[in-house]
Amino acid sequence: MDETAPTDPGDRSFLFLQGPQSRFFRRLGLAVHAAGARVLKVNICGGDVFHWPRPFTRLYQGSRGDWPRWIAEVMDRHKVTDLLLMGDKRPMNRDAICIARSRDIAVHVFEEGYLRPNHITLERDGVNTRSRLPSAPEGVRCAAASLSDPPPHQPVPDSMPIRVRDTIRHHVGNFFLWGLFPRYRTHRPYTIGWELTGWLPRYVTRHARQERALAAQKALMASGRPYFLFPLQLDADIQVRSYSHFGVRDSVMQVLSSFAASAPDDVILVVKNHPLDNGLINLDRFVDSFSRATNIRDRVVFLDGGQGRPLMESDRCKGVVLVNSTIGLEALALGRPVFSLGRAPYAMPGLAATLPDTTLTDFWMIPVPPDPRLLRDFVKILLHKALVLGNFYTDQGIALAVEGSLRRLGLIA
């Protein structure tokens, strides 16, 4: 199916599975229906119901073992032509994707944007290493040559309070409607009850942590010393667990031990915690302990807060080391050398260094900035093939994302 040419909506039947924890999927479903296509949403937990209670919904209340047969029957009964879902690695989503492919059903996968803020990801078949994006410089240059420059756009308003509110709404739905979905199991490694034991103390200490982080960041910037930035990712992030072999502690051990052995003595390593860390792992203590064990405690700065972009904008930032975070693209856009420990769409020669082409030892000694022309070509492909303007949370962001998704799905010109 041509992804850009509109097709007759009346010939198409869209099946929505689990989406982002927001009202985006419901807004998109209503727009798809208004365009003339058939729509069905399958809710598998109480959070799904709270975000899309009606119309066009059905409940799945069975076990994971019965799911493949059940969802296959739904696809056949409703003559499904298009499957839409959030992420391609959640267990029940993986089952549905495999079944859809066996029936020649188009699979459309949403994710948080490769370029943030301002964009969401929407790709055919899969994201990250399952993406259709070219994975080598030659393919990037060839694909970009036939594409026009994307039009400029204004920044899209985003809101962390709305994200938090929508996440709470999802978990409240799971709690109150647990009786409807007794067999549901989240794809996350922790239950919400266990996560709250980490979240609540972090909420209480958030202002003090931010003040300490900003003071440490100010002192770092005033010191004049060069540094590498190591932004941590969430231990529960399914993209990290699926597309790398690094948990957060594994990545800390790998990076700090390599830095201790190979980095120049005058360089600092700045370890910045993820703003949505749940606190179940005391990363401040772990980084402190491991840096002492490797005799680099005086060369490691841990920030549990602060501002990431100014750290990357500074000319004293020698490079950025990460697993496969979308921060990598932001760093590349600022001209900073990037090393990716895991698999990422931008991990290729000329953009981000990665094994086996480059080792961390090489990167500490000679961090190579990205090829600006290759980066422009890669971003051009992203904007044409993988990204949609908007976000999943604010009214304006959702409106833009719905319009762009309808265009990508071939429902409007």
| Residue 293: inside a domain | yes
Same domain, 249 and 322: yes
| Residue 167: inside a domain | no
Same domain, 290 and 399: no
Residue 83: give its domain's CATH number.
Answer: 3.40.50.20
Using pLDDT thresholds of 50, 70 and 90, give the confidence band for residue 1: very low
pTM, rounded to two decimals? 0.87
- pLDDT of residue 46 exceeding 90: yes
> What amino acid is encoded at 155 in this protein?
P
Model pLDDT, residue 189: 64
For the chain, what is the domain count? 2
Same domain, 345 and 319: yes
| Residue 118: inside a domain | yes
Domain that holds residue 215: 207-371
Residue in the structure block whose two tokens are 């004049």: 224
pLDDT tens readout for residues 359-399: 999 999 999 999 999 999 999 999 999 999 999 999 999 99
Distance CA 294, CA 168 (A): 40
pLDDT tens readout for residues 144-182: 999 999 888 889 999 988 998 998 899 999 999 999 999
Q: Which of 235, 232, 233, 236 is nearest to 188 (CA)?
A: 236
Same domain, 356 and 397: no
Model pLDDT, residue 356: 87
Same domain, 274 and 344: yes
| Residue 170: inside a domain | no
pLDDT tens readout for residues 104-116: 999 999 999 898 8
Are the C-beta atoms of residues 347 and 95 closer than 8 Å to each other? no
Same domain, 395 and 342: no
| Cα-Cα-Cα-Cα dihedral sign, residues 59, 61, 66, 68 | positive
Residue in the structure block whose two tokens are 């993209």: 239
Same domain, 19 and 136: yes
